[in-house]
Structure formats: C-alpha cells, structure tokens
Structure 1
C-alpha cells in the first residue's frame, strides 16, 4: 500500500488507520498562528459506520488503500442479505442489506451495481444514480397550484415517499435520483 503524507489526504480517500478501513469524508487544512499546520479529517469506518475526527500533521504517514470496483448483477434478497452475481465468472456473493441504507428500495432485480472490494471483502455497493420507478399513489392537483416550485407527495412502487411536480399522477413512470432521493424527470 502506498503511504501518503497527512496533508495529501483528500475527501473520498480510503485509508488504513488504527487497524480499520476508513473513508475521508471531510478534510479541513488548518494553519494555526502558533505551531505546525495539520489536516483535520473526518473519517467514516467502512465496516461498521463509526465516525472519527483525526488530526494529521504533514509529516505523518498514512496508508492509502485502493479498492477494486466490480460490476455485479443483483439477483435476490434473502434473510437481510443481498445476493449478487459476477457477470463474467458467474460467482455469487452475499452482502449485508444494511450497506445500502436508505437506497435499498431502489435496488431492482437484475440491476447492475458496482461493488467495492478490499481484497475479497465487499465493503460498499453503488447503485445507478438514476432509477426508473412507477408512481402508485399521488395527491390530485389543487386549484391555484402552478408548475413553478410546487411539489406534492407521492408513493412509489417500492414504497418510498418522495415529492413530485403537480403534473405527475398515479401509474406514471418517473426517473428518481437515488443519492438525493428526489424526482428527476419523467421516464
């Protein structure tokens, strides 16, 4: 693993620190009036989700880890575990459904997702940024509502509640931005 200086840590970097794998969420470079400069780094543990604030001086050395991205096809869910298959080798792996968090309902059968591996251990799952969903329930348009900046609540076919523009009705397909959990466009 390559070692980097403490002042070279950037947001999104994966570090091996204190015997765990951590993702740098926020990095703030500080130059106090007295003493040496340092990087104040907010870290998130990739295995258990713990957060940690750590100071790294420029002379501190940390191990930067490179994760391997593999495209995997989602097959099914069983007992809180998601089963994915490698399209090239047909190998199947099981991943804890909690890794996806709030984005879990957007994972659809047959969907291709990117799984991040550290060696043979799957650490994270990235689903496509935009997913097609069907609106199953939406409030009717009220008189006086205009198309500018007015939204109404709707329920999608996966059970997620989001806000949609007034022109979207039940049984319509829409595109949802999975990271922001909001309406993007009509399908």
Structure 2
C-alpha cells in the first residue's frame, strides 16, 4: 500500500483494477479548508489521462509493473511481433498500444516492455536512439549563417528537423521523449 503523500512522478497505483501512473502531482494547502493532493494520472491500460484529487494520507495499492526485455521481430498486417528473450514466446502488439514508439524501433532492436497482470501495456524506450538518415535534401554550401534546418527521413520512416550539414547515411541521435535531433553519432 502507498499513501497519496508518497506520490512521486512515475509512481504506479491500482485504482478500480487498472494500473495508473502519476504524471504530475501537487500538494495543495488552501488558506481555508482541508489540504488535498491534486494528481494528473495516466491509465496504463487505456492511455487515458485524467486529473483527480485525493485526501492526504489516502491509501491505495501499489501497481506492480513487470519489465521484460523483448526483441522486435517484424510487422505483420498492422500488428508488431515481439519475442520474449527469456521464454522465446512471441507477442503481437497493435499500434494503439505502442503509440509513436515504432518511429524509433528497428527490426531486431531489444527494448523494455511493461507488463501488468500478464498483459503488455506499453514499451520503455531509451531516452535516445541512433537512427540512419535515409533521405534528405543536400545542404547548400554557405547557407549556414542563419543556422537553418531541413527535414530528414530516418530509416524507420520518422521525419525530423536537422541542421543543414546532415547528409544521407549519417547516424543521428534522436530524443525519444520529444522526437528532436540531438547530435550526430
């Protein structure tokens, strides 16, 4: 059990049989009346984001999210096939479960998968991934005074803004949280 006073960003709790993750929290002590905890939470099963208020000290069960390492194998008719590296069981995930994660995952990549009550509820991407530039316009020599940018299509199909000096075949580090270019690898 965990109390609302112990909430931190990333804490997972069980409410009405679903796993919820705390995105943001705030302890509010108004000048008049009782204190309360305002929490922004995401349902890990459905992806819904809600704001709720709780009394301080309210107790609820902690959600136990298992993390397993799996390997992405291939895409089959809109379903993405992953293999558990310990048991070699294969699981299919749909685009709704994965969100925009497939923009950063290539075949044979090993990634962390979040499992709640034997059901895969999402993936844990690293903070940055390395992708290869598949297509971009050539940079124009001498056009760097403005510090401009251009669009580049990565080998996964993801499109990102990059500096003008980036060329096809360059390996780039991309931030998976924001989707922005970080640096050349």
The reply to whether TM is greater than 0.5 is: yes
Secondary structure of the 2:40 match is strand
2:170 to 161, 167, 172: 172
Aligned mates of 2:60, 2:180 — CA distance in 1: 37
Check conservation: 2:19, 2:116, Cα contact below 8 A: no
Check conservation: 2:105, 2:156, Cα contact below 8 A: no
Give the aligned CA root-mean-square deviation in angstroms: 1.9
Matches within 5 A, 1:34-183: 34-142=32-140, 143-146=142-145, 149-183=147-181
Aligned mates of 1:38, 1:133 — CA distance in 2: 45
Aligned mates of 2:134, 2:3 — CA distance in 1: 52
Cα offset for 1:149? 4.7
Q: Runs of 5+ in structure 1 lacking a partner? A: none
Range 137-146 or range 170-179, more displaced = 137-146
Q: Does 1:16 align with 2:14?
A: yes
Aligned mates of 1:155, 1:165 — CA distance in 2: 13
Aligned mates of 2:107, 2:70 — CA distance in 1: 12
The count of corresponding residues between Structure 1 and Structure 2 is 184
Secondary structure of the 2:101 match is helix
Aligned mates of 1:74, 1:127 — CA distance in 2: 12
Q: Runs of 5+ in structure 2 lacking a partner? A: none
Secondary structure of the 2:96 match is helix
Check conservation: 1:72, 1:86, Cα contact below 8 A: yes
Cα deviation per residue 1:115-163 (whole Å; 9 max; x = unaligned)?
A: 11113111111133332222232233343423x8532222222222111
Cα offset for 1:93? 1.7
Once superposed, which parts of structure 1, at least 4 consecutive aligned residues long, lie more than 6 Å away?
none
